[in-house]
Amino acid sequence: MREAQVECIDDSYFDRALNPANEERNLIAVLEGLGRLPSSFDVASLLPLLQHSSVNIRLLAIKNIGKLRPTNHLPALIEFANNEKATLVRREAVSTIGRMRTEAAIPALVNFLHDPDAKVVLQATRALVTFKKQKQVEDAMLSLLDHPNELVQAAIKKELGEKNNGKDTTHSQSPDFLKNLFVQGDVREVLKSIPDESVHLTFTSPPYYNARDYTIYKSYDEYLEFLVSVFKEVHRITKEGRFFVLNTSPVIVPRMSRSHSSTRYLIPYDIHPRLTKIGWDFIEDIVWIKPDPSAKNRNGGFFQHRKPLGYKANSVSESVIVYRKHTDKLIDWNMRQYPEEIIEASKVQGDYEKTNVWKIAPSNDKVHPATFPKKLAARVIQFYSFKNDLIFDPFAGTGTVGQAALNSERYFLLAEQELSYIQRARELFEKQEFFGDIPLKMCSSNQIPHESENA
């Protein structure tokens, strides 16, 4: 019902139509149809419905009351919110009280900071932000810093923390000495020479535990700890609010003999909680799907015997999980750090994949057993970085990330410990066009140029 219509209906209409004794479905129809309410609307006709036994009616009633700012009814609304048992309705009531933006509501809102429903606490926090300069409000908000709910903690930190939402003139920049640099060595050594907050995006596919013979780890735990030590450093060298995209998949360590079983490790799930603990916020779970024939056939036996429990799926998927370095700032802040012409030139053109299922054929290389396709790297780079950004791959293999970065006019920083893969990468880079005027630089981890020796 539009405002104009509401105004031409006489006052007694609402007393009749909103009478709590009416049938529930009629009341719901009227409440849902109220639309925008004129400021002259008498909230008193809605108040009796707050006592209705139906949660739906109480919810619709408080939502309609919330369209106005009936400060004269504040005490009644506070009492209602205090006694309301349904959290959804209570949340709406707190929101209505908050929207009045009146100091008279402060004591009630402070009380709601102790509500058992975190969403009510968030609603009260949101309302109190207007008054956060007042000591009592600031103290009450500070007391929530160790609230058990992580969203409440984050909201309080954001509101009370040092809020610097302005420009960071260095955000779109990266040190010249790192641009198009390929370092040979253990990435843990390489990382020691990389300054804090110098890369914009990391995309990598780490070694697959002991499934291939790059490195032999003593145990799965040791392997996970190794990855954590690297990704902690990746976190340090990543700029505020920027992304880390990790490609992994479950691996299988073959059985010792026919009298033993093989062991499967669900690497993406095991590494995930360790990453969030370091300060990587989870953003997207992309599933990279390869065509059926590219998967190793695991169900030959089952195909013959068809006995339950013996089923084995051919693995055509890998995980591509997107993380963001934790920050209180929104993605918009990151975008605002770039000049308009770079934003324009970095826009993702044409058709693009809209789902989290990315169908991309795998790649193969004559030297390296596990490269990922350039198309996958290109997509990640285009979605999660801007032109001229610095893209890092700590487990670079033949440098696929570097080649895809150049094609999209981004710089790269790569680390790889195996000389044979680096030689192969050199061959591939020879076929590659370099944008700008920064050539490929190769060195070992103890020869990384110093920050002051710019390219």
Ligand X SMILES: C[S@@+](CC[C@H](N)C(=O)[O-])C[C@H]1O[C@@H](n2cnc3c(N)ncnc32)[C@H](O)[C@@H]1O
Judged by the rule CB under 6 A, the positions of this chain that interact with ligand X are 186-187, 205-207, 214-215, 368, 370-372, 395-398, 400, 415-418, 421
Strand order in the sheet with 390-393: 357-359, 280-289, 317-325, 238-248, 199-204, 390-393, 411-416, 181-184, 441-444
* Closer of 338 and 412 to ligand X (Cβ): 412
Cβ atoms 383, 354 nearer than 8 A: no
Q: How far is the CB of 269 from ligand X (least distance, A)?
A: 18
Q: How far is the CB of 282 from ligand X (least distance, A)?
A: 22
* Closer of 268 and 397 to ligand X (Cβ): 397
CA-to-CA separations, 309 to 55, 257, 259, 306, 421, in angstroms, rounded: 47, 20, 17, 9, 41
* Closer of 80 and 421 to ligand X (Cβ): 421
* Closer of 175 and 207 to ligand X (Cβ): 207
Q: How far is the CB of 444 from ligand X (least distance, A)?
A: 12
**SS3 state at 73:** helix
* Closer of 333 and 372 to ligand X (Cβ): 372
φ/ψ of 361, rounded to 5, equals -70, 145
> In one letter, which amino acid is 126?
R
Length of the chain: 455
Q: How far is the CB of 187 from ligand X (least distance, A)?
A: 4
The closest residue (CB) to ligand X is 397
* Closer of 196 and 213 to ligand X (Cβ): 213
* Closer of 46 and 191 to ligand X (Cβ): 191
Dist CA 413 CA 131 (whole Å): 47
Dist CA 109 CA 93 (whole Å): 11
Residue whose tokens read 């308009």: 340
* Closer of 146 and 213 to ligand X (Cβ): 213
Summary count for the chain: helices (H), strands (E):
19, 11
Q: How far is the CB of 29 from ligand X (least distance, A)?
A: 60
Strand partners of residue 271: none
Q: How far is the CB of 417 from ligand X (least distance, A)?
A: 4
> In one letter, which amino acid is 18?
L
* Closer of 371 and 408 to ligand X (Cβ): 371
Q: How far is the CB of 172 from ligand X (least distance, A)?
A: 26
Q: How far is the CB of 384 from ligand X (least distance, A)?
A: 16
Q: How far is the CB of 105 from ligand X (least distance, A)?
A: 56
Sign (positive or negative) of CA dihedral 141, 146, 152, 155: positive
Distance of CA 272 to the CA centre of its chain: 13
φ/ψ of 125, rounded to 5, equals -60, -45
Q: Where are the alpha helices (DSSP H) in 246-351?
A: 267-278, 300-305, 331-336, 340-346
Dist CA 159 CA 141 (whole Å): 9
